[in-house]
Amino acid sequence: MLFFQGLEGCSSCEAIFNAVNTFFELHDIKWEYCVSVCTDGAAALTGSKTGFKAKVTEIAPHVGFVHCMIHREALAAKYLQPDVNKVLEQVVTIINFIKARALNSRLFKIMCREMGSEYENLLLHTEVRWLSRGKTLRRVFDLKDEIRIFLLEREPKLAEYFLNENWLATVGYHSDIFEKLNDLNQSLQGKSTNVLILANKIKAFCRKISLWIDEISAENYEMFACLEKFSEENNIKLEEEIKTKIMMHLTNLKQDLEIRVPDTSHGDQWIIIPFTCDLNTVKMNLKEKEQPIDLMSDESLRSIFKTTDLSKFWIMTEKEYPLLFKTSLLKLLPFASTYLCETAFSTLTAIKTKYRSRLNVEPDLRVSVSDNISPRINILTASVQAQGSH
C-alpha cells in the first residue's frame, strides 16, 4: 500500500488527483515512474476530458489505464435481458417477503428446522456484492419445497410461482449459470495476477458458453446441475420457449463479455509460454525476435520456468535478455484488478467502527493489509526494563 488518505468534502476527479499528486510531490515520487493506473471504471476516474485520467495524461502521457477485470465481469453478469431479469425480480420479491419481515423470518426458520432442511434461512440479495446473485438464487432453489409450503399458508399468490415447473426450471438454470459466474469471479481474484492471465480465463469462459449453447440445443443439461436434477426428478422436458430464452441469455452473456473484456493478450502469449509460443504471432521486428529464439534454447531457464512465478522468472532474465525483460514487465506490472483495494475496504470496515469514528486508521490499516510485516521484538523490548524480581 502506497498511502491511505481521506478526501475532505467532495470526491471529484480534481480532489482525487490533488490528493495523489500532493503525496507524490511530498515524497519526491515522479509520475514518470508510474506505468499504469487500475480503476473500477467510475466516471470521475476514467473521464478522458475532465476526469482523473485526463489530469494524469496531461503530465504523464505514457501512463496506461486499466479497467478492473473483475469489475468488467461483474458488469457483464449484472445487465440481464428482460426475461431473465424478470425472474430474478420475482425471486427477490419472495425473499424480501420472508426475510425482511421478522415474524415471517422466524416462522420460516422454525419450519425449516422441523423439516430437517439443510439450511434455515434465505439470503438477501445485494447488488454491490459480486457473488450475491449466485448465492441467493442457489439458496432459493435448494429450499424451493420449504418456500412453497410456507407461502401456501402466508401468501398464496407468491406460492403460485413454485407450482409452475417451467418457472422453477428457469430458476434452476439461473442458479447454475450465476454459480459458474461466481466461480469465474473467484478465479479472477488474488494478488499475483496480471492482465494476460485474467484475459485468458475470461476467454476460456466464453468458449465454454459456446459449448453449453450447443449442448442445450441437443437437450443435454449436464453442465447445469440444478436444472438437470430438477428435470430428471420431475420427469419434465423443457419447452422450446424456455430453451430459446436460455440460449439467448448465454449468447448475450458471451457477447457482453467479449465486448467488455477484449482479447488484450493477442501477440503477447510469448510472455506466458515463452518456450512453446509461435514466433509468427510475436509483435517484434526481426532483430528483436532473436532474443526469444535464444531464450527457447536455454535449457536452464526452461527448467526454472516450470517452478517459478511468472513475474519472478522474467526478472531473472534482466541481464541476459534485457529487451525481453523490459517488454514483459511492462505487460506484467499493471494491476489487473482492484482486488487488493477491495480487501483493504473489508479490513477498514472491521477497524473503523462508529465507536472509533475519529481514529486515524492509516497506520492500523497499513499493518493489517501487509503480509510481510512482522513485529521487531528485540527493538521493542530493548527500551523496556524487565521486572527485577524475575
- One-character DSSP codes across 270-292: HHHSTTT--GGGS---TTTTHHH
**Vertex 312 angle, CA 306 and 317, to 5°:** 90
C-alpha 275: how far from chain center: 30
Closest CA to 62 of 259, 333, 303: 333
Q: Is 17 exposed, middle or buried (0-12, 13-18, 19+ CB in 10 A)?
A: buried
Can you tell me the distance from the alpha carbon of 214 to that of 136, in angstroms, rounded to the nearest whole number? 28
Can you tell me the distance from the alpha carbon of 299 to that of 301, in angstroms, rounded to the nearest whole number? 5
pLDDT for 322: 87
**For residue 330, which amino acid is it?**
L
pLDDT for 127: 79
Can you tell me the distance from the alpha carbon of 243 to that of 64, in angstroms, rounded to the nearest whole number? 43
Model pLDDT for residues 206-238, shown as the tens digit of each residue: 999 999 999 998 888 899 999 988 888 888 888
Closest CA to 270 of 293, 300, 287: 293
pLDDT for 144: 92
pLDDT for 266: 65
Model pLDDT for residues 77-109, shown as the tens digit of each residue: 888 778 888 888 999 999 999 988 899 999 999
**For residue 197, which amino acid is it?**
I
**For residue 15, which amino acid is it?**
A
Phi-psi region of 190 (alpha: psi -120 to 50; beta: other; left: phi over 0): left
H/E element holding 346? helix 339-351
- Local confidence pLDDT in tens for the 390 residues of the chain: 888 888 877 878 888 888 999 999 999 999 998 999 998 877 777 777 778 888 898 899 999 888 899 999 988 888 877 888 888 899 999 999 998 889 999 999 999 999 998 888 999 888 778 888 889 999 999 999 999 999 998 899 999 999 988 899 999 999 999 999 999 999 999 888 888 889 889 999 999 999 999 999 888 889 999 998 888 888 888 888 888 889 999 999 999 999 888 776 567 888 888 888 877 777 777 777 788 888 888 888 888 888 888 888 999 888 888 888 888 888 888 999 988 888 888 888 888 888 887 778 888 888 888 877 777 888 878 877 766 665
Can you tell me the distance from the alpha carbon of 222 to that of 215, in angstroms, rounded to the nearest whole number? 8
**For residue 200, which amino acid is it?**
N
**DSSP codes joined into one string, 35-76:** -EEEE---HHHH-TTTSHHHHHHHH-TT-EEEE-HHHHHHHH
Give pTM, 2 decimals: 0.85
Q: 3-class DSSP state for residue 23?
A: helix
**For residue 135, which amino acid is it?**
K
- 308, three cell numbers: 517459478
> Is residue 362 within 8 Å of 347, Cβ to Cβ?
no
Distances 98 to 25, 92, 94, 152, 388 between C-alpha atoms, Å:
55, 10, 7, 13, 64
> Is residue 222 within 8 Å of 228, Cβ to Cβ?
yes
Count other C-beta atoms under 10 Å from residue 180's C-beta: 18
The helix/strand count (H/E) of the chain reads as: 21, 2
